[in-house]
């Protein structure tokens, strides 16, 4: 619980014609209603409010008195009253107010002062405290995807987000993307990043992927790091990234904020929150493929994405259709998985602990990974050389998933790996071995329930720092490119056959689903780069058992 420090200012002000004792410290703004009677009334709670200074959006002087908005009948008495009042004797504070389901909204309170000098003193003092917060952005580069999700990105930004940025005094440079990877290419080559304090994307997870690919690639080139080398330790990005959700899934927002509300995300940007995030680099041989921050899926989730891409005309319903189709076809794939287990860390994939704001596991493991990286650079030894630590699993798999976060969303409230962390330098490698359709259905239904996701005999999960996969049917082919199953484009349902892959009804290989994009190779090398980027977020906040405990006035 945050306690007020040394008082900077204290006055008796009025809120809606009621007297309040108002105080300002470096950490809190508190206003407490004055009681007319000194006698304690147990059934009459005292009206007291407190707001952290860090969560004040802005303060403004009132341009007109509240009474002038009421109906004016032109009487001489009202004209004299209006002339006798100074409109600059009131000021309004806009601040963050928490609502249900991790949502934030912009609330405001207007204080009336006894004279103009007191009002000016309060306004200047609050603005001085806000200006001293160096974590708040002042200039933002904004990319809007007008086509993502329900094509509401531009409207959401203009109606819900831009007014808040204006009130907070944030200047923006807005670019509406015109084609796929427009934002990525602009960040790579053209954007003058030194002018900005952060980059904001308005769209879904696909738009966010564009931003991180452009920003990470640009950072590595500026720092002289070769992105095509899987052995290179990538340099962290200095600019924070904000996400205004306007897509169909918004998985990153759910994991880092707890909701996909645009106003909530905009307020996290305004107050200057910072949440580190791990990023996985995906390579094929010595060639860079993509970055991943949420899910890498081979088998079931790769097949669902590949099939749904051919049915975009169906809209969001294509995912349900393709999911049902892939469940019925029940394809399994043979291959070899090698992984480097995360040693010396705290936390396991089957913990009851969840990644929340101020996560201790992320802080501890993040520091551990940072120390290992320094030792790695000094010794010039790569993970591939320490072959004794690598472990290998061969078999037939229905799905191979790597979850770098919980991947929670409305359809899967707990996600694919509920105990995965945002910034601990690891990913949870989930192997679903060949099993019956009934057992696989049990596994899928676990994503929507509170049962242990991994308490099934055909599932194993490992917390890893790096892993590699090579499908059986192309282990000797180092340059295999997927054709996205072009030969099955015209089929509505493939023939169901689980025992005869050579007959043609079951493909020899699947494709990798990398954060909603299909990779062009199946043999991949994945490495986790701890806390490579930072978001304008603070993680999911734990809801207090008693709301009053967060209020120092209630004690």
Catalytic residues: 205
Contact 47, 32 (CB under 8 A): yes
413 three-state secondary structure? coil
465 three-state secondary structure? strand
d(CA 406, CA 428): 9
Q: Can you say whether the dihedral through the CA atoms of 349, 352, 242, 532 is positive or negative?
A: negative
Q: Which secondary structure element, helix H or strand E, spans residue 163, and what is its range? A: helix 162-167
φ, ψ for residue 187 (rounded to 5)?
-65, -35
Residues present in the chain in total: 555
Strand partners, 459: 432
d(CA 434, CA 450): 24
Q: What would the two tokens of residue 474 be? A: 């192309």
Residue 344: half-sphere exposure toward Cβ, Cα within 13 Å: 13
Q: Which secondary structure element, helix H or strand E, spans residue 327, and what is its range? A: helix 317-329
Contact 103, 261 (CB under 8 A): yes
φ, ψ for residue 293 (rounded to 5)?
-120, -15
d(CA 508, CA 522): 11
Considering only CA atoms, which of 435, 397, 418 is closest in space to residue 522? 397
User: Per-residue DSSP letters for 480-493?
Assistant: ----TTGGGTT-SS
d(CA 27, CA 308): 50
Considering only CA atoms, which of 39, 35, 38, 31 is closest in space to residue 14? 31
Q: What would the two tokens of residue 344 be? A: 């010396």
d(CA 399, CA 331): 9
d(CA 541, CA 494): 45
φ, ψ for residue 141 (rounded to 5)?
-100, 120
Residue 284: half-sphere exposure toward Cβ, Cα within 13 Å: 16
Contact 55, 271 (CB under 8 A): yes
């Amino acid at each position: 619980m945050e306690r007020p420090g040394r008082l900077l200012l204290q006055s008796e002000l009025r809120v809606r014609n009621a007297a309040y004792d108002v105080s300002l410290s470096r950490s809190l703004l508190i206003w407490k209603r004055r009681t007319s009677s000194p006698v304690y009334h147990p059934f009459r709670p005292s009206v007291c409010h407190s707001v952290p200074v860090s969560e004040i959006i802005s303060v403004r002087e009132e341009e007109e008195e509240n009474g002038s908005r009421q109906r004016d009948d032109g009487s001489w008495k009202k004209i004299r009253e209006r002339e006798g009042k100074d409109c600059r004797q009131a000021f309004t504070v806009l601040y963050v107010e928490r609502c249900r389901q991790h949502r934030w909204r912009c609330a405001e309170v207007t204080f009336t002062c006894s004279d103009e000098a007191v009002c000016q003193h309060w306004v200047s003092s609050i603005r001085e405290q806000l200006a001293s917060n160096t974590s708040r952005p002042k200039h933002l580069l904004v990319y809007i995807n007008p086509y993502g999700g329900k094509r509401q990105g531009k409207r959401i930004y203009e109606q819900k987000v831009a007014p808040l940025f204006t009130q907070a005094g944030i200047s923006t440079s807005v670019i509406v993307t015109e084609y796929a990877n427009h934002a990525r290419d602009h960040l790579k080559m053209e954007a003058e990043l030194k002018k900005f304090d952060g980059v904001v994307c308005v769209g879904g997870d696909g738009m966010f992927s564009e931003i991180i690919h452009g920003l990470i690639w640009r950072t590595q080139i500026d720092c002289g790091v070769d992105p095509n080398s899987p052995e290179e330790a990538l340099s962290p990005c200095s600019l924070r990234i904000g996400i205004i959700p306007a897509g169909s899934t918004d998985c990153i927002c759910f994991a880092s904020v707890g909701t996909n509300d645009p106003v909530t995300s905009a307020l996290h940007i305004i107050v200057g929150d910072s949440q580190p995030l791990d990023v996985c680099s995906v390579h094929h041989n010595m060639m860079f493929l993509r970055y991943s921050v949420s899910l890498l899926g081979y088998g079931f989730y790769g097949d669902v994405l590949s099939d749904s891409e051919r049915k975009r005309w169906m809209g969001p319903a294509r995912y349900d259709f393709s999911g049902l189709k892939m469940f019925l076809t029940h394809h399994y794939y043979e291959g070899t998985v090698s992984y480097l287990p995360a040693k010396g860390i705290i936390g396991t994939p089957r913990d009851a602990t969840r990644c929340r704001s101020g996560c201790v596991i992320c802080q501890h493991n993040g520091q551990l990974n940072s120390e290992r990286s320094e030792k790695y650079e000094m010794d010039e030894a790569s993970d591939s050389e320490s072959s004794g630590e690598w472990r290998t699993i061969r078999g037939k798999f229905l799905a191979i998933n790597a979850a770098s976060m919980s991947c929670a969303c409305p359809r899967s409230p707990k996600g694919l790996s509920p105990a995965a962390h945002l910034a601990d330098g690891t990913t949870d490698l989930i192997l679903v071995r060949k099993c019956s359709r009934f057992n696989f259905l049990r596994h899928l239904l676990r994503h929507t329930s509170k049962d242990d996701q991994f308490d099934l005999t055909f599932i194993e999960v490992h917390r890893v720092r790096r892993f590699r996969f090579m499908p059986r049917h192309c282990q000797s082919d180092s340059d295999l490119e997927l054709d996205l199953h072009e030969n099955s484009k015209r089929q509505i349902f493939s023939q169901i056959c689980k025992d005869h892959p050579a007959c043609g009804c079951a493909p020899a290989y699947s494709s990798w689903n990398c954060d909603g994009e299909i990779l062009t190779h199946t043999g991949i090398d994945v490495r986790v780069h701890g806390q490579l980027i930072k978001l304008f977020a603070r993680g999911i906040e734990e809801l207090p058992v008693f709301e009053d405990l967060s209020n120092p006035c209630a004690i």
